[in-house]
Structure 1
Amino acid sequence: MQCLQDEDTCLINISYTVPPYWEPFGDRKHFLWKSCTTAAACEAERKRAGRECMREWYMDWRCVECCQGELCNYYATLESSILLPNFWISAFTTLFVLYHTMLNKCT
């Protein structure tokens, strides 16, 4: 996608909702769209979507991300805040395994 000269920011909109078309079980799906905009407009849209950005599997949500640079939105993500809990889960799991490994060596 070629952006206009004054559009220096990529906007990524990720939503999780029931599709606008019929589904057998009405399962929610992820929808993603990207566009070019200004940094100020993207930040305003991100703040507006902030109230809806809950990422819960059982309800509809919408998140907006902003980035700048060539191919910055090549891989759409859910920002680093979604990675933080995964880091702690991995850290505690590692500590748990190490603790039990050391405990088994002592007995």
Structure 2
Amino acid sequence: MYREIIFSTFFTILTNIPQGYGLQCYVCDRQDGNTEKCLTTIKTCKYEEDRCLSTIRWSTTPYWTQGAEKQYYVSKRCSTLDECTRLIEESMTLCHYIWYEDWKCAECCRGDRCNYYVTLGSSSLSSNIFITLLLSILAVTFR
């Protein structure tokens, strides 16, 4: 009898403890492309980190060599909303994709492993769809 009471009490306590499943993000640091380590290394984020951050940089190698070719450097990690906002704003003027200049872009997403792909610039997709739809309607109307 006591064994049943102890077991049921223990079971009730365990089932009512809040489970803390954290966000999972892909993580890597300055990898030369979105391959290998950037697609296989996963980290469970800290409680306050509710975003996955991806940055991509186009520049020459970290050490200077004459005529060095440019390449992509991808970094991914867990982040907070404040850090995401700050890094996106900081990189806004540098995020231009001009192949002969160094550039850097940042993006954040929410959801487990949402930073698998580096989709920089996709947040403007909704405005492009609106413009395309508007132009299509105008073209049909004034035909």
> Equivalent residue for 2:79?
37
Partner of 2:46: 4
Aligned counterpart for 1:13 among listed residues 55, 68, 90 = 55
**C-alpha distance in 2, partners of 1:31/1:22?**
16
Q: Please, what is the CA RMSD of the aligned residues?
A: 2.1
Shift of 1:24: 7.3
Structure 2: distance between partners of 1:65 and 1:23? 30
Task: Tell me the residue number matched to 1:74.
Answer: 116
- Tell me which stretches of 4 or more aligned residues in structure 1 moved more than 3 Å: 21-25
Match of 1:51 in 2: 93
How far apart are the structure 2 equivalents of 1:51 and 1:45? 11
Percent identical residues: 37
Aligned residues: 84
Give the counterpart letter for 1:34 in structure 2.
K
Shift of 1:25: 3.7
* Cα offsets for 1:10-65 (capped at 9, x unmatched): 11110000011466741100000011111121011101110111111010000000
**Cα separation, 2, equivalents of 1:47 and 1:13:** 12
Q: Which amino acid aligns with 1:53?
A: C
Aligned partner of 1:95 in structure 2 is none
My pick for the range that moved more, 19-28 or 60-69, is 19-28
Q: Which residue is 2:103 aligned to?
A: 61
**Whole-angstrom distance in 2 between the partners of 1:52 and 1:25:** 22
Q: Which has the larger radius of gyration?
A: 2
